């Protein structure tokens, strides 16, 4: 799931300071699940914005809406008329939602209200941890299901680095050393041989390092 966090209120207020009528567009997808961008979050943010603007003596009109997914045309198209009636859209979707709005409905400027963080795993209620960085060439098959890119501070492929202590990462003692986890899981699977293979440098062109990536599913075109 994509995990995002709300921007500080002062930053949001500054980004909409020139507008008197905005649409506050939430998203019913991932950001609803992680509490940062659903209709409840939109209601709270709208109240905070109105209160702050009232204090400044600069009232603001806010239209709230929550399409099922902000990253798909079919869900935002139906809001076209409302969007044409506002000066700006404040989006509390992930970065893809913001860009879908900007490109597909450019009538009003779309401003991000969230910081999109990572693809995460729900560890417990209201707590997500990063699990995938979308590197484009998954290695979980030989690491026992633990990601050394999203979870190792040094992104090592031939870990551990030697700095871990009591199973914790030397960079942050509150974080588990993923190479310890990899070792323990491979031992459990009777696949410790995986760790005797020296892995070459990762080809980072499959990640964002070579610029924008594209995927086209030919089957879907049939």
Distance CA 186, CA 209 (A): 30
Distance CA 217, CA 221 (A): 7
Nearer to ligand SF4, 52 or 153 (CB): 153
User: Which of residues 16, 26, 164, 183 is near ligand SF4 by CB under 6 A?
Assistant: 164
Q: How far is the CB of 203 from ligand SF4 (least distance, A)?
A: 12
Residues 6 or more apart whose Cβ sits within 8 Å of residue 174: 168
The answer to whether residues 101 and 111 touch, using CB atoms and an 8 Å cutoff, is no
| SS3 state of residue 215 | coil
The answer to whether residues 119 and 133 touch, using CB atoms and an 8 Å cutoff, is yes
Distance CA 43, CA 49 (A): 10
| SS3 state of residue 201 | coil
Nearer to ligand SF4, 116 or 164 (CB): 164
Q: Does 149 bind ligand SF4 (CB under 6 A)?
A: yes
Of residues 173-192, those binding ligand SF4 (CB under 6 A): 177-179
Of residues 89-148, those binding ligand SF4 (CB under 6 A): 132-135, 138-140, 147
Q: Does 1 bind ligand SF4 (CB under 6 A)?
A: no
User: Which of residues 9, 109, 156, 185 is near ligand SF4 by CB under 6 A?
Assistant: 156
Q: Which residues bind ligand SF4 (CB under 6 A)?
A: 132-135, 138-140, 147, 149-150, 152-154, 156, 159-161, 163-164, 169-171, 177-179
């Amino acid at each position: 799931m994509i995990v995002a966090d709300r921007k500080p209120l002062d930053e949001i207020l500054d980004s909409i300071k020139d507008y008197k009528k905005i649409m506050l567009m939430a998203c019913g997808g991932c950001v609803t699940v992680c509490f940062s961008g659903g209709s409840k979050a939109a209601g709270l943010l709208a109240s905070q914005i109105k209160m702050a603007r009232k204090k400044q003596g600069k009232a603001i009109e806010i239209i709230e809406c929550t399409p099922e997914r902000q990253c798909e045309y079919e869900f935002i198209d139906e809001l076209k008329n409302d969007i044409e009636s506002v000066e700006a859209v404040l989006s509390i979707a992930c970065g893809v939602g913001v860009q879908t709005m900007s490109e597909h409905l450019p009538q009003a400027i779309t401003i991000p209200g969230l910081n999109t963080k990572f693809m995460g795993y729900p560890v417990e209620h209201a707590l997500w941890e990063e699990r995938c960085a979308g590197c484009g060439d998954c290695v979980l098959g030989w690491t026992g299901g633990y990601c050394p890119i999203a979870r190792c501070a040094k992104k090592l492929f031939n870990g551990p680095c030697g700095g871990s202590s009591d199973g914790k990462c030397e960079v942050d003692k509150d974080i588990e050393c993923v190479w310890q986890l990899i070792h323990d899981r491979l031992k459990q699977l009777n696949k410790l041989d995986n760790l005797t293979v020296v892995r070459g440098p990762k080809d980072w062109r499959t990640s964002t390092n070579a610029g924008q990536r594209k995927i086209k599913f030919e089957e879907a075109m049939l």
